[in-house]
Amino acid sequence: MNYLARTPADIGHALRRVRKKNSLTQKELASKSGVWQETISKIENGLPGAKLETIFELCAALDLELLVADRSKGTTDFLEE
């Protein structure tokens, strides 16, 4: 599944959806990724300031990758493309 993300909140929502789809708690994802549970909570709630390295660690733990593409005319209202 692909998610359109243009803001920290969009990234957080996408990560939360995938985490829940994989039936993981934040604590389990923290253990799997090496990222503090508090940090995962902040990212999932859209708070800005997360290090790119942290995002990559979470993506790796969730078996995701980031794809950089030309900006589309789509909106993030539904997150899914």
1-59 per-position pLDDT tens digit? 888 899 999 999 999 999 999 999 999 999 999 999 999 999 999 999 999 999 999 99
What average pLDDT score do residues 50-78 get? Answer: 87
What single-letter DSSP state applies at residue 76?
S
Q: Is the pLDDT of residue 76 over 70?
A: no
Q: What angle do CA 39, 57, 9 make, to 5 degrees?
A: 50
Q: Is the pLDDT of residue 79 over 80?
A: no
Please report the pLDDT score of residue 73 as a whole number: 77
Please report the pLDDT score of residue 80 as a whole number: 47
Architecture of domain 8-61: Orthogonal Bundle (1.10)
Rounded distance between C-alpha atoms, residue 28 and residue 18, angstroms: 13
The burial class, CB within 10 Å (0-12 / 13-18 / 19+), for 41 is: middle
Phi, psi of 59 (to 5 degrees): -60, -45
